[in-house]
Amino acid sequence: NAGVTQTPKFQVLKTGQSMTLQCAQDMNHEYMSWYRQDPGMGLRLIHYSVGAGITDQGEVPNGYNVSRSTTEDFPLRLLSAAPSQTSVYFCASSQGQGLTQYFGPGTRLTVL
Amino acid sequence: KQEVTQIPAALSVPEGENLVLNCSFTDSAIYNLQWFRQDPGKGLTSLLLIQSSQREQTSGRLNASLDKSSGRSTLYIAASQPGDSATYLCAVRGTDKLIFGTGTRLQVFP
């Protein structure tokens, strides 16, 4: 099992550009989520999904969109990048909402 | 609103010491609590998960305790090793999401 994979590892964007951060898991987990990690603020939940076709907002959803067309994939879209979105983004999955979460290696995003 | 605090923010100890990392949370209505390890530039690795009905969990040299009524959890690391150097994060789960603390950065020197 590859576990949770994320691409790209690093990305630099200009303000206003859009992009998609990819996340995939091969453990047949129903629950997937996206977090951002900023210095001194811990990890904050952006969006999550309890299964294919179902998504919901977390603490900091503004500026981000998600969709879940398959169990395996949960992409995160930045619609119009802003410098405030400079962060490290982590995708996570688990068999259920209250069970152990498995994290991907992260994507380090810089918005100029 | 749930808030999770970890003290100390950083800790440096010599190899072989037993040590305790602390996590406190403001709302005792939690579903479970997880401890994670994060190495520099890497993702998070789950260490232990304690359900709200449990008092402690053990894995090897690690022991995590949970006192829901006082809003506290501790992670005990026995006989620390340089390979234990990392940031340790605790996270509490309420009804729908995990709330993370900001972590304790641990350095174990030989």
Please write the tens of the pLDDT for every residue from B66-87: 999 999 999 999 999 999 999 9
Of A53, A60, A51, A2, nearest in space to A31 by CA: A51
pLDDT class of A11 with cuts at 50, 70, 90: very high
Task: Judge contact between A58 and B96, C-beta under 8 A.
Answer: no
Q: Compute the count of residue pairs across chains A and B with CB atoms less than 8 Å apart.
A: 50
The C-alpha atoms of residue A14 and residue A83 are separated, in whole angstroms, by 8
Query: Is residue A97 over pLDDT 80?
Result: no
Task: Judge contact between A57 and A65, C-beta under 8 A.
Answer: no
pLDDT class of A93 with cuts at 50, 70, 90: very high
Residue A83 φ/ψ, nearest 5 degrees:
-55, -30
- Across the range B15-37, mean pLDDT stands at 95
Interface test with B, best of A10, A35, A100 (most B CBs within 10 A): A100
Non-local CB neighbours of B78 within 8 Å, separated by 6+ positions: B18, B61, B62, B63
Cβ of A59 within 8 Å of Cβ of B98? The answer is no
Query: Is residue A80 over pLDDT 90?
Result: yes
Among A residues 31-70, those touching chain B with beta carbons less than 8 Å apart: 33, 35, 40-45, 48, 56, 58-59
Alpha carbon distances (Å) from B7 to A87, B25, B106: 24, 12, 11
pLDDT class of B59 with cuts at 50, 70, 90: very high
Q: How many CA atoms lie within 13 A of B1 on its CB side?
A: 3
Give, rounded to a whole angstrom, the gap between the first and last alpha carbons of chain B.
41
With pLDDT > 70 as the criterion, what percentage of chain B qualifies? Answer: 100
DSSP character for A21? E
**Secondary structure of B6-34 as H, E, C letters:** EECCEEEEECCCCEEEEEEECCCCCCEEE
Cβ of B98 within 8 Å of Cβ of A48? The answer is no
Cβ of B102 within 8 Å of Cβ of A41? The answer is yes
Query: Is residue A14 over pLDDT 80?
Result: yes
Query: Is residue B96 over pLDDT 80?
Result: no
Q: How far is B73 from chain A (nearest CA, A)?
A: 17
- Can you tell me which residue has the tokens 């900091």? A60
Q: How far is B13 from chain A (nearest CA, A)?
A: 22
Quick one: pLDDT at residue B84?
A: 97
**Cβ contacts of B96 on chain A, cutoff 8 Å:** 56, 97
Burial class (CB in 10 A: 0-12, 13-18, 19+), B8: exposed
With pLDDT > 90 as the criterion, what percentage of chain A qualifies? Answer: 88
